[in-house]
């Protein structure tokens, strides 16, 4: 006898062949069939017992997993009623395991029903829904919902997975606060560093004006000048990276000639490029882009500074600008130390640098490329880096949308400098005195005061053409001083120029709101201050001539 082709039993009977009449043979066949059916039932029962045991084991495993889940999982019927929840989260004494206590009870009573109803009506899952409870003990929850269906697709109910993320929210808030404190610290650090930098910059300018200085003094003045400029750029880079990361950089967009800016940046660094083989390839026609001119100069300066830093003397640096359809491509390539393959994907991260040693350190904070990338992203430009590896040089390319050249405008009329009467309000004596000397050397009259209260006294004696005022003054600060002047009918028309170590958008907005006409960031560049005073002089000339 066989069960599905497998031998199960053998029925054997011995008797003389002649005695096996037809009736006996038929009986034996029936007995054999009955035994086969009996064995089949035994086999089915055994299979059922094995399946039931396996099902019990699986059910026990699932129940243990369900009970130990670190999140709440609730099963709901087609009407939204709770069928069951994690036993470990059920209210004490709830034999049916369908109710909660504490915050979960409030959450399921006040907010979850509407989401369960939405899933039951739409039949579509909902992922990562953040819910919050206020009042009493505030809490935050991350919830996901999914429909449950029968084999034929009919909606059976819904499942909700609820995770308490209150502690995570507290950690996130703490990290945001730490990040804010870091930015505040960097801003304050920049301000505190810019004050001595301003005095040093003014002093180097004064040294440069000494007629026929001794060679040693001339050399030292050059050292001071270069290092103050370099330190100022480091401070600006450190602060700008933080501003870009927090989205606090505002672009002043307009048509910008990229080729002209390249030539300008290269000219500013002509002494450094003299130690390398520089190849510049610019198209015959100018390529324009919609960009912030000052920030575009910053991007170019950082890319060229990077090439200069990592390219040995005599090696080639190539700067190329070309058109590619409706886009422009700016490429800065060098024959320098190259980039390790493992570093290349992270080359634009802040403070990221290649392997350096004390004997072969290239200096810098690792911020230039990060800042260039962040500013390119703000403009919608694509900045990419390639390198064949260590010793194979590197190439950085910017892909940008081309813009139409602006209509030619009439050349600006020349503004002649005129002597101005200036009042400097600055509590840092070194900055105030050196700035006054510089302005007097330019032919202006400059008076200094150390606080806003003394400035108001000075204004009672005479009226200046413009006031150069530090914002962070002791006592009455520069912002309040500006408001006082703007509220005084006699003083409200005086040109107000703010000087501060804080150059962020928020500070600029506060200065404008208080009544300042312009803002200069310390250390104040003398050429920028001169341009500012030329405009003041032109305005005064216009008033005098009616």
Mean pLDDT (whole number) for 429-435: 90
Q: Which tens digit of pLDDT belongs to each residue from 195-254?
A: 787 888 788 888 877 877 788 887 777 777 777 777 777 777 777 777 777 777 778 889
Task: Return the pLDDT at 364.
Answer: 53
Is residue 297 a contact partner of residue 268, using CB atoms and an 8 Å limit?
Answer: no
DSSP 518-546: EEEESSPPHHHHHHHHHHHHHHHHHHHH-
Mean pLDDT (whole number) for 319-326: 92
Q: Which tens digit of pLDDT belongs to each residue from 304-315?
A: 989 998 899 889
Among the ranges given (420-424, 490-494, 505-509, 539-543), the one the predictor scored with the smallest mean pLDDT: 539-543
Cα–Cα dist 279/343, whole Å: 27
Backbone φ, ψ for residue 90 (5° rounding): -75, 155
Nearest Cα neighbor of 71 from 96, 104, 102, 97 is 104
Give CA 237 to chain center in angstroms. Answer: 15
Cα–Cα dist 522/434, whole Å: 13
Cα–Cα dist 476/479, whole Å: 8
Give CA 315 to chain center in angstroms. Answer: 35
525 pLDDT above the threshold of 50: yes
67 pLDDT above the threshold of 70: no
Burial 457-466 (b: 16+ CB within 10 A, else e): ebbeeeebbb
Give CA 473 to chain center in angstroms. Answer: 33
- Of the chain, the percentage scoring pLDDT greater than 90 comes to 28
Residues 6+ apart with CB under 8 A from 240: 249, 298, 371
3-state secondary structure of 236: helix
For residue 229, the tally of other CB atoms under 10 A from its CB is 16
Cα–Cα dist 546/187, whole Å: 44
Mean pLDDT (whole number) for 511-521: 91
400 pLDDT above the threshold of 80: yes
Cα–Cα dist 364/303, whole Å: 13
> Per the omega criterion (within 30 degrees of 0), is the bond before 452 cis?
no
Residues 6+ apart with CB under 8 A from 523: 194, 197, 198, 200, 201, 202, 228, 232
Q: Which tens digit of pLDDT belongs to each residue from 254-301?
A: 999 999 999 988 988 888 888 888 999 999 899 999 999 888 998 999
Taking CA atoms, 106 is separated from 92, 131, 137, 162, in Å, by 16, 12, 11, 13
Q: Which tens digit of pLDDT belongs to each residue from 84-141?
A: 777 656 655 555 545 566 677 778 878 888 999 999 999 999 999 988 887 767 788 8
Q: Which tens digit of pLDDT belongs to each residue from 356-399?
A: 433 344 455 567 888 899 899 999 999 999 998 898 999 999 99
Mean pLDDT (whole number) for 138-147: 88
- Residue 371 tokens read as 């800042």
Cα–Cα dist 231/351, whole Å: 17
Higher pLDDT, 213 or 355: 213
Task: Return the pLDDT at 44.
Answer: 82
382, burial (CB in 10 Å: exposed 0-12, middle 13-18, buried 19+): middle
Band of pLDDT at residue 153, cut at 50, 70 and 90? confident
Q: Which tens digit of pLDDT belongs to each residue from 40-60?
A: 887 888 888 887 777 777 766
Any idea which residue has 């502690």 for tokens? 167
463 pLDDT above the threshold of 60: yes
Among the ranges given (139-153, 319-333, 343-357, 434-448), the one the predictor scored with the smallest mean pLDDT: 343-357
- Of the chain, the percentage scoring pLDDT greater than 70 comes to 85
Expressed in percent and rounded to 5, the helix, strand and coil fractions of the chain are 45, 20, 30
Among the ranges given (44-53, 322-331, 482-491), the one the predictor scored with the smallest mean pLDDT: 44-53
3-state secondary structure of 409: coil
Task: Return the pLDDT at 11.
Answer: 53
């Amino acid at each position: 006898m066989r069960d599905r082709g497998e031998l199960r039993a053998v029925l054997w009977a011995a008797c003389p062949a002649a005695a096996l009449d037809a009736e006996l043979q038929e009986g034996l066949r029936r007995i054999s069939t009955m035994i086969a059916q009996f064995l089949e039932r035994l086999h089915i029962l055994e299979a059922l017992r094995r399946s039931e045991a396996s099902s019990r084991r699986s059910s026990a495993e699932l129940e243990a997993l369900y009970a130990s889940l670190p999140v709440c999982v609730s099963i709901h019927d087609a009407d939204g009623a709770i069928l069951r929840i994690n036993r470990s989260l059920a209210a004490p004494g709830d034999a049916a395991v369908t109710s909660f206590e504490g915050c979960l009870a409030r959450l399921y009573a006040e907010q979850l029903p509407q989401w369960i109803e939405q899933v039951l009506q739409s039949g579509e899952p909902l992922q990562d829904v953040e819910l919050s409870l206020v009042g009493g003990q505030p809490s935050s929850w991350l919830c996901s919902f999914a429909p449950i269906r029968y084999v034929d697709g009919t909606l059976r109910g819904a499942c909700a997975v609820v995770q308490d993320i209150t502690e995570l929210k507290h950690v996130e808030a703490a990290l945001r606060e730490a990040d804010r404190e870091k930015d505040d610290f960097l801003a304050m650090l920049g301000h505190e560093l810019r004050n001595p930098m301003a005095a040093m910059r003014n002093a180097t300018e004064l040294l440069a004006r000494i007629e026929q200085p001794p060679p040693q003094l001339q050399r030292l003045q050059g050292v001071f000048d270069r290092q103050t400029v370099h330190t100022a750029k480091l401070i600006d880079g450190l602060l700008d990276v933080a501003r870009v990361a927090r989205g606090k950089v505002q672009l002043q967009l307009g048509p910008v000639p990229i080729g002209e800016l390249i030539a300008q940046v290269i000219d500013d660094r002509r002494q450094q490029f003299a130690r390398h083989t520089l190849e510049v390839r610019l198209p015959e026609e100018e390529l324009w882009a919609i960009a912030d001119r000052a920030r575009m100069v910053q991007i170019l300066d950082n890319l060229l500074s990077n090439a200069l830093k990592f390219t040995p003397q005599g090696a080639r640096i190539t700067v190329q600008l070309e058109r590619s359809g409706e886009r422009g491509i700016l490429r800065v390539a060098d024959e320098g130390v190259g980039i390790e393959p493992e570093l290349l994907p992270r080359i634009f991260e802040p403070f990221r640098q290649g392997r350096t040693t004390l004997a072969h350190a290239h200096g810098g904070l690792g911020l230039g490329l990060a800042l260039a990338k962040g500013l390119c992203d703000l403009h919608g430009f694509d900045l990419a880096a390639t390198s064949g590896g260590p010793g194979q040089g590197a190439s950085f390319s910017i892909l940008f949308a081309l813009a139409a050249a602006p209509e030619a405008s009439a050349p600006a009329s020349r503004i002649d400098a005129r002597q101005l009467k200036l009042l400097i309000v600055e509590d840092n004596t070194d900055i105030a005195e050196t700035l006054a000397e510089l302005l007097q050397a330019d032919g202006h009259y400059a008076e200094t005061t150390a606080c806003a209260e003394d400035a108001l006294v000075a204004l009672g004696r005479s009226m200046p053409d413009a006031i150069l005022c530090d914002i962070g003054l002791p006592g009455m600060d520069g912002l309040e001083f500006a408001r006082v002047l703007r509220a005084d009918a006699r003083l409200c028309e005086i040109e107000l120029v703010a000087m501060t170590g804080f150059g962020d958008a928020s500070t600029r907005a506060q200065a404008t709101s208080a009544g300042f006409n312009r803002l200069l960031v310390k250390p104040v560049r003398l050429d920028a201050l001169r341009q500012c005073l030329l405009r003041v002089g032109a305005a005064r000339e216009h008033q005098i001539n009616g």
